[in-house]
């Protein structure tokens, strides 16, 4: 387990793992937000984090929240890099025909801490495979 330094605004909440086996810690809205039908909103969490080098935080939907409310999190998973120091905000899209209201303290997303490997990109001819450049739906 690694330590993540966190600053919480007066309206923010500490992220919380809801079960012993949870991979993601729930994130909470730090203010009331209204998302218009078929529109996008940036929902603040009121937290800033200091992620150790070699790690990232991924922002993902909470499955129950998405299913129950028809709200998507765009740019999923969103990546918080180790050198970012701004407030974590969640990009949310409303699939409803009515406005969607988020209240301060609602659990809106989850964050997963993940190890990151850096690559050394080397320009060279790549090997061929049986699949080749077969893309979307090519296997039926």
Give the Cα separation of 137 and 135 in Å (integer). Answer: 6
81 annotated binding-site participant: yes
Contact between 51 and 82 under an 8 Å Cβ cutoff? The reply is yes
Q: Dihedral through CA 62, CA 66, CA 69, CA 73, nearest 10?
A: 90
75 is in an annotated binding site: yes
Please state, in angstroms and rounded to a whole number, the distance separating the CA atoms of residues 43 and 99. Answer: 15
124 is known to lie in a ligand binding site = no
Q: Is 79 annotated as a binding residue?
A: yes
Q: Find the helix or strand (DSSP H, E) in which 63 lies.
A: helix 63-69
- Say if residue 63 carries a ligand binding annotation: yes
Element (H, E) at 65: helix 63-69
Residue linked to tokens 């200091």: 50
Residue stretches of the annotated binding site for substrate: 62-64, 75, 79-81
Residue stretches of the annotated binding site: 62-64, 75, 79-81
């Amino acid at each position: 387990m690694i330590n993540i330094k966190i600053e919480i605004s007066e309206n923010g909440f500490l992220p919380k793992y809801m079960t012993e086996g949870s991979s993601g810690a729930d994130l909470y809205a730090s203010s009331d937000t209204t998302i218009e039908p078929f529109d996008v909103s940036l929902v603040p969490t009121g937290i800033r984090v200091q992620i150790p080098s070699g790690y990232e935080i991924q922002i993902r939907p909470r499955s129950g929240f998405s299913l129950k409310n028809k709200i998507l999190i765009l740019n999923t998973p969103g990546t918080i890099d180790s050198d970012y120091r701004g407030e974590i905000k969640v990009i949310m899209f409303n699939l409803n025909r009515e406005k969607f209201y988020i209240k301060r303290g609602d659990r809106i997303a989850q964050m997963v801490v993940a190890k990151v490997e850096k690559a050394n990109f080397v320009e060279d001819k790549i090997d061929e495979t049986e699949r080749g450049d077969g893309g979307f739906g090519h296997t039926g």
